[in-house]
Amino acid sequence: MTFITASQRQVHPIPENKSKEITSLVVDASTNPVQVGIPEKRGWLCLAQVEEQALEGLFLATENILLDSKKEISRVNSVYYCEGPGSTLGLRLAAAYVKTLRWCHAHASFEVFAYNALDLASLLVPKENSIIQAPFRVGFRFVRLPNSNPLEAEKKIIPQDEAFSEYPDSFHLPDIRKRSIPVSPEKTLSYDLSKIKGLSDLNLVSKPSSEITPYNPRAPQFKKWTPRTLNK
């Protein structure tokens, strides 16, 4: 029996796909279910939606779509991933997953695109030019204002009470952590990628991504601890 240590293990980059066939992969772990799919021009070749934790869900969903499509991961030459907002853990794992794919596909023709969940949600709302909200941190919400160019839509972070009072007709992304004020089901969007028209919709809300990182418009702020001086 032969044992292979970490120092002996070799990882070989996936060679460039010489075929003219273009295969794209969509990776979205911003919420549950985790969604991974192969989009076509105006639809989906296949799409897996897995009710698992992000790590298990990403790999299980990928395995499912590769089996269904009878394609190999080596045939993928572009990836669209959701940068957020959403589950912090899911976004970080998805970013690491996409970075690994890019590293394995060590050739210039491999492309990565990022889309914002709020922009994609603008394609899912029942009314055009709707305001869309999503949970941020406790007591705050994202608010996305409509724009004819989805990539230029203003997104701001405001206190939760202000978001609900100033924009009462908003539609809302699901709050998987349930830390926010409950929203009526009629105003809660179904974040379901099967409802978008494949690449034609994805290209409306996506941009090239050289740095694969989760969406974080406001870095966490921590109060510095000041030691107390004891009176003698």
Is the pLDDT at 70 greater than 80, yes or no? yes
Task: Look at residue 230 in the predicted model and tell me its pLDDT.
Answer: 65
Percent of the chain with pLDDT over 70: 83
- Tell me the domain boundaries of the chain: 23-208
When pLDDT is cut at 50, 70 and 90, the band that residue 216 belongs to is confident
Q: How far apart are CA 100 and CA 154, in angstroms?
A: 31
Is the pLDDT at 9 greater than 60, yes or no? no
Q: What is the mean pLDDT of the chain?
A: 86
Is the pLDDT at 2 greater than 60, yes or no? no
Q: At 13, list the tokens.
A: 């980059």
Confirm if 192 and 123 have CB atoms less than 8 A apart: no
Q: How far apart are CA 20 and CA 207, in angstroms?
A: 22
What's the whole-number mean pLDDT along residues 205-231? 77
Task: Look at residue 181 in the predicted model and tell me its pLDDT.
Answer: 80
Confirm if 205 and 122 have CB atoms less than 8 A apart: yes
19-32 pLDDT tens trace: 446 689 999 999 99
- Closest C-alpha among 50, 88, 44, 46 to residue 65: 46
Task: Look at residue 180 in the predicted model and tell me its pLDDT.
Answer: 75
Q: At 193, list the tokens.
A: 């990628």
Is the pLDDT at 58 greater than 50, yes or no? yes
CATH of 23-208, picked from 3.40.50.300, 3.30.420.40, 3.90.950.20, 3.90.1150.10, is: 3.30.420.40
Is the pLDDT at 14 greater than 80, yes or no? no
77-120 pLDDT tens trace: 999 999 999 999 999 999 999 999 998 876 667 899 999 999 99
